Each structure stands twice: as C-alpha cells, then as structure tokens.
Amino acid sequence: MKMYSIIVYITIAIFTITTPLEGTKLNYTKTNVYVINEKGTNLFVCDIADTPEKWQTGLMFRKNLKSNEGMIFIFPFPQYLSFWMKNTYLPLAIIFIKEDKTVSDIFFPQPLSTIPVNSSTKCKYVLEILSNVGKDLNIKKGDKILF
C-alpha cells in the first residue's frame, strides 16, 4: 500500500507540474450527486474525475456551468488533498468529502487563484459546484454527499 501511495503522489505531482492546453477535451462519464443537509436533498449532475489527467484538469478553462452541474473527484484512497483555481474561470465551491461521504471542509477560493486550499482530514472525494450554489445551500461540515 505504501508503494502504491508513493506512485500515486508522484503521478499527481507530474501532472500538476504540466498544465493542460486550453481546449484539451477529455471524455467524462456523468453521475448524479446528492447533497443532503438542512436545506433538503439537492441533485447535481457531475462529471467524474477519476484519473490523474482528469484530477489535474478539473474544471479548468470552462466558461459555463449550470447551477445543478459540477464535478466529483474520486481518489483511490483517503488522503490529504490540496486544490487550487489556476486556469479556472468559474467561481467554485470546493467541497472535501471523507470516505464515509460526509463533508470535511468547504472553501470558496477566488477564480484563477494559485493559493491552494487544503483538506483538514484525509478525504477520498472532492465535489466542485458553483460558489453561489454552495453558499445558498449552506453546505457545511458533516453534511452528506451521496452518489
């Protein structure tokens, strides 16, 4: 497991160093993601980022995202995660999710910022949705994210 962790970290580091070209088109599978909290159950149709290339690209270069859309990042095992907004034009909520599918942390970084936001605990998933939607839904630590 330790060797696998090292390989995953090295792979992510290599892809993080190289920036994808604008217009690079990856094929994403979609899934329904449900945010469940005091505001009820809210459905998002999300692209699945489950490879190093998709993790590294994320929502970079996108100019449009509907209020019920997003991206769910799925990692092979729980780990401390760090995200930034480089080449990301949309204002996003970055929601770190633990293996039990509860929210660990939520951040609202500025578009195009290279200042990272970091999970406070080991997480296996990250959900990115529009910032204003995340704020309107009052998503917070402990809320459930199902998919």
Integer angstrom CA distances of residue 36 from 90, 102, 108, 124, 146: 24, 10, 19, 18, 8
> CB–CB of 88/59 below 8 Å?
yes
pTM of the model: 0.85
Q: Which domain holds residue 101?
A: 2-19+27-146
Looking at residue 33, which CATH number applies to its domain?
2.60.120.1140
pLDDT at residue 10 is higher than 80: no
pLDDT band at 4 (very low <50, low <70, confident <90, very high): very low
pLDDT in tens, 12-40: 443 444 444 455 678 999 999 999 999 99
β-pair type (69-79, 40-49): parallel
Number of domains in the chain: 1
pLDDT at residue 117 is higher than 70: yes
| Cβ atoms within 10 Å of 136's Cβ, excluding its own | 13
Query: DSSP letter string over the chain?
Result: -HHHHHHHHHHHHHHHHSPPPTT------EEEEEEEETTEEEEEEEEEE-SHHHHHHTTTT-----TTEEEEEEEEEEE--EE--TT--S-EEEEEE-TTSBEEEEE-PPTT----EE-SS-EEEEEEEEHHHHHHTT--TT-EEE-
45: closest CA among 56, 33, 61? 33
Confidence at residue 3, expressed as pLDDT on a 0 to 100 scale: 43
